[in-house]
């Protein structure tokens, strides 16, 4: 079976996909041309021959190892897969379970970050008032954000959508290159945050930062 591999599906947990013979087989005598597999597969494993009215396995190695959804939904059982023991054997031989520990940690971190991001966006959407800042200065070396946090930690405001752009880590410390800092001061509970704006402005001054934009 020769096909041009999609780079996204060329490996399965570090194993070359072509070394794993997991993909569907279509029994043309049973196939009634319903097109359900062709339409449903999100990895474009199937093509469809409209002249012959038959489903065709076009990109076998796009198939997700262990997936057999197309066979499950086929109304006439025209699609088959190898026994699942094949996948379990590869998992044992290639020590797949030990390889995925770090991937699991990475996925958990990504999901947690996405939750935090959603919370920030919700806060922004529900905020009654907002002040956007854009600054230039030595934010990292002066511990600017730490000092801002100390000023607002017991208040009904928050700093969200924080972006710090620096040339490089060495540039900041060794060559004193300034950073660009952007953030928003928001509150979902208060109509007036002028007192907190004053406090933030004080921290900016104490850290020698320059306000480029404040809206």
Helix (H, G, I), strand (E, B) or coil at 93: helix
What's the pLDDT at 124? 65
* pLDDT score, position 175: 83
Domain ranges in the chain are 7-94, 127-214
37 by Cβ neighbours in 10 Å (0-12 / 13-18 / 19+) ranks as buried
Check residue 2 and give its pLDDT. 55
Strand bridging mode 54-57 / 79-80 = unpaired
Lookup: tokens for 97: 């379970």
Would you state the structure tokens that stand for residue 64, as one six-digit string?
Answer: 């997700």
pLDDT of residue 17: 94
Which residues of the chain are modeled with pLDDT < 70? 1-3, 124-127
Query: What pLDDT sits at residue 1?
Result: 46
pLDDT of residue 15: 92
* Cα separation, 26 vs 32, whole angstroms: 11
Note the pLDDT of residue 167: 83
Q: What angle do CA 165, 169, 174 make, to 5 degrees?
A: 120
State whether the Cα torsion 7-12-14-20 is positive or negative.
negative
Pick the CATH number of 127-214 from 3.30.70.2690, 3.10.20.740, 3.50.50.60, 3.40.50.2000: 3.30.70.2690
Q: Report which DSSP code applies to 95.
A: T
How high is the pLDDT of residue 29?
96
DSSP β-ladder status, 25-26 and 46-49: unpaired
Q: What is the pTM of this model?
A: 0.54
Give rounded-to-5 percent helix, strand, coil for the chain.
40, 20, 40
**Domains 7-94 and 127-214 are alike in CATH topology:** yes
SS3 call for 158: strand
Q: At what angle do helices 96-126 and 85-93 cross, to 10 degrees?
A: 100
CATH number of 7-94: 3.30.70.20
């Amino acid at each position: 079976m020769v096909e041009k591999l999609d780079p996204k599906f060329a490996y399965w947990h570090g194993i070359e996909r072509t070394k794993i013979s997991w993909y569907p087989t279509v029994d043309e005598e049973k196939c009634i041309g319903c097109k359900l597999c062709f339409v449903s597969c999100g990895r474009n494993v199937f093509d469809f021959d409209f002249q012959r009215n038959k489903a065709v396995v076009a990109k076998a190695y796009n198939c997700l190892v262990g997936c057999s959804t197309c066979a499950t939904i086929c109304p006439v059982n025209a699609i088959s897969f190898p026994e699942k023991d094949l996948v379990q054997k590869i998992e044992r031989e290639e020590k797949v379970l030990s390889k995925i520990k770090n991937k699991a940690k990475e996925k958990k971190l990504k999901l947690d970050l996405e939750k935090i991001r959603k919370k920030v966006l919700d806060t922004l959407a529900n905020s009654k008032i907002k002040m956007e800042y854009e600054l230039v200065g030595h934010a990292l070396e002066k511990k600017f954000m730490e000092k801002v946090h100390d000023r607002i930690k017991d208040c009904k405001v928050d700093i969200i959508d924080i972006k710090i752009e620096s040339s490089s880590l060495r540039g900041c410390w060794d060559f004193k290159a300034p950073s660009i800092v952007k953030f928003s001061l928001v509150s979902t509970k208060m109509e007036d945050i002028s007192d907190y704006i004053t406090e933030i402005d004080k921290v900016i001054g104490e850290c020698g930062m320059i306000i480029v934009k404040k809206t």
